[in-house]
Structure formats: structure tokens, C-alpha cells
Amino acid sequence: MKKSEIMYGLHAVESLLKQSPERVLELWLLQGRDDDRLHKVIKLAQNFGITLQRASRKVLDDKAQSHQHQGIVVRVKPAKALIEKDLDILLEKTEQPFLLILDGVTDPHNLGACLRNADAAGVHGIIIPKDNSVSITSTVSKVACGAAEVVPVFQVTNLARTMRHIQQQGVWILGTAGEADSDIYHADMKGALAIAMGAEGKGLRRLTREACDSLISIPMAGTVSSLNVSVATGICLFEAVRQRQAAIE
Ligand SMILES: C[S@@+](CC[C@H](N)C(=O)[O-])C[C@H]1O[C@@H](n2cnc3c(N)ncnc32)[C@H](O)[C@@H]1O
């Protein structure tokens, strides 16, 4: 495990400072940048006694390995990785778990966008395979706009086995695939639920697909055969939110 990693971007750093300020080792701000959005973050950092260092754009670009840092870069202790036993704890304490399974998403922008959607939809946790998947990199955190610091991401060794395990705990798993006969508007998404999304190129792997209780599709009216995985995730999650809210009203 790395001793430290880099994160950047206003939302991501603000969320980090709110959730886990103890992880911050160093914080650099762009020389000359001084506005309200940055002030909020500066105040938070100062409240936790974090020393602020000013640096040139070139230094920040180099540290972030990106131009997308919005004038703020931090070096942090890596977050504790969440694994199968942490998922068990979540299931024990959550009455109607609402989970997202991402079967091997490899593009950090897609994972970041899925995290952002998951946070907005009130998902309790995301399950990803340890291998064949991008992990929470600085790009993922930046794109997730703060969601990577709040939505628990469980990295599991054997995804199909974990799916069977959560099914035994009463979680119904809906896999998503464009060719499924049933569509999201006719699926029951209330109760303990996990929605499984496939990877960018190949979709759900065979074993993941077989481990699902049922497969559902998003109806496609046009000529393209599939949606981007993060867009499809947002659509499925918010249909579930709609049904779950209707059930309690
Ligand atoms: C880019 S698609 C993968 C396309 C892949 N060629 C396939 O055949 O599944 C990535 C993921 O987004 C979701 N997705 C995209 N379009 C969908 C649709 N129309 N219905 C259901 N899920 C969809 C699925 O989870 C899919 O595995």
C-alpha cells in the first residue's frame, strides 16, 4: 500500500476535510488565487490546524499530474480499504440496503460519475471487484465531486461469491443489460436491493450475470445500442429512488 496519495479539486478536497481531515498531510494552494470558494476550504483546513502552502500553477500541475486541480492539491494518507467484512457490517446495520455493483468499470471518469450518481441517489455502498476495475484514484475523486469521500466502496476478491452472499442476507440483485426482456419501469426496485452494472466494453461478465436474480434493460428508442455506464447507472438508480419513495408515501 502506498504511504500517501494526491487528491485535488475544490469539491473533493472540501469533502475530504469534512469527512477525514486527519488524512491530510500537506495542502498546496495556487499563488494569487483568493476567492469565496477557496476561502471556505482554507477555513476548514485552518480549523484542523493544517498548514497551507502557496505554490505556482506549474508546481500544482506537476503534483496533480493534471491541469484540473482548480488551484488546490493535497497529499493524503490513503483511505482504509473496505472489504467483505465491512460490507457485512453495513448489511447488519442497514434495514433496506440500496447497493450498486460495478462489474469492472475501468475508466476513472466513469467510476467518478457513478460515485457522484450513487451519492445523489442515497446508495449505501458500492461493490467493485478488487481486480479488473479502476480503484479510487485522484481522477476518480475529482470527478466524483466529493462523493468518493462519503460513499463506501467495498473491494471484493470474488464478485460472484459476494453477490451470492448478499443474496443470502436478503438482497435482491438486478443486473442491467440492453438485451434484457424486462425493463427498469416494470422491475420491482423496492426493499433490499443491489443494481449491477457492467463494464464499458463487455458489459456484465458471465458469472456476474448468472449471479443476478433478474436482468433488466433501459428501453432504447434510437439507433445506438447502449448508454455510457455512468449514464445508465444514474437512470437505474433514480428509477429505484422513485419507486422506493413512492412505497413510503
Ligand atoms: C457501455 S455498456 C456495455 C455495452 C456492452 N457492449 C454490452 O453488451 O453490455 C456498459 C453498461 O451500462 C449499462 N447499460 C448501458 N446501456 C444499457 C441499457 N440500454 N439497458 C441496461 N443497461 C445498460 C449496462 O450495465 C452495461 O453493462
**1 pLDDT above the threshold of 80:** no
- pLDDT at position 37 is 85
**How far apart, in whole angstroms, are the C-alpha atoms of residue 205 and residue 103?**
7
* Beta pairing, strands 172-176 & 153-156: unpaired
Confidence label for 51 from pLDDT (cuts 50, 70 and 90) = very high
17/132: higher pLDDT: 17
Q: Are 136 and 105 in contact (CB under 8 A)?
A: no
Q: What is the mean pLDDT of the chain?
A: 96
Position in ligand 1 atom list of the atom nearest CA 179: 20
Residues with CB under 6 A from ligand 1: 176-178, 197-198, 200, 203-204, 217-218, 220, 226-227, 229, 232
Summarize pLDDT for 162-172 with one digit per residue, the tens: 999 999 999 99
Contacts of 6 (CB under 8 A, 6+ apart): 63, 64, 65, 73, 74, 75, 76, 138
**How far apart, in whole angstroms, are the C-alpha atoms of residue 172 and residue 166?**
8
DSSP 82: B
**Average pLDDT for 176-195:** 97
**2 pLDDT above the threshold of 90:** no
Q: How many CA atoms lie within 13 A of 86 on its CB side?
A: 13
Q: Which CATH topology does 84-246 take?
A: Alpha/beta knot (3.40.1280)
- Parse the chain into domains and list their residue ranges: 5-76, 84-246
CATH of domain 5-76: 3.30.1330.30
Instruction: Give the whole-number percent of the chain exceeding pLDDT 90.
Output: 93
**What type of residue sits at position 194?**
A
Confidence label for 35 from pLDDT (cuts 50, 70 and 90) = confident
> Ligand 1 centre from 204 Cα, in Å?
8
Summarize pLDDT for 83-136 with one digit per residue, the tens: 999 999 999 999 999 999 999 999 999 999 999 999 999 999 999 999 989 999
Query: What pTM was computed for the model?
Result: 0.94
**What type of residue sits at position 125?**
G
Sign of CA dihedral 56, 62, 68, 74: negative
**Average pLDDT for 181-207:** 97
Confidence label for 36 from pLDDT (cuts 50, 70 and 90) = confident
Compute CA 125 distance to the chain's CA centroid, rounded to the nearest angstrom: 8
Pocket test for ligand 1, best of 100, 182, 214, 229 (most atoms within 8 A of CB): 229
Cell numbers describing residue 33:
488565487
**Average pLDDT for 175-179:** 97
Position in ligand 1 atom list of the atom nearest CA 219: 19
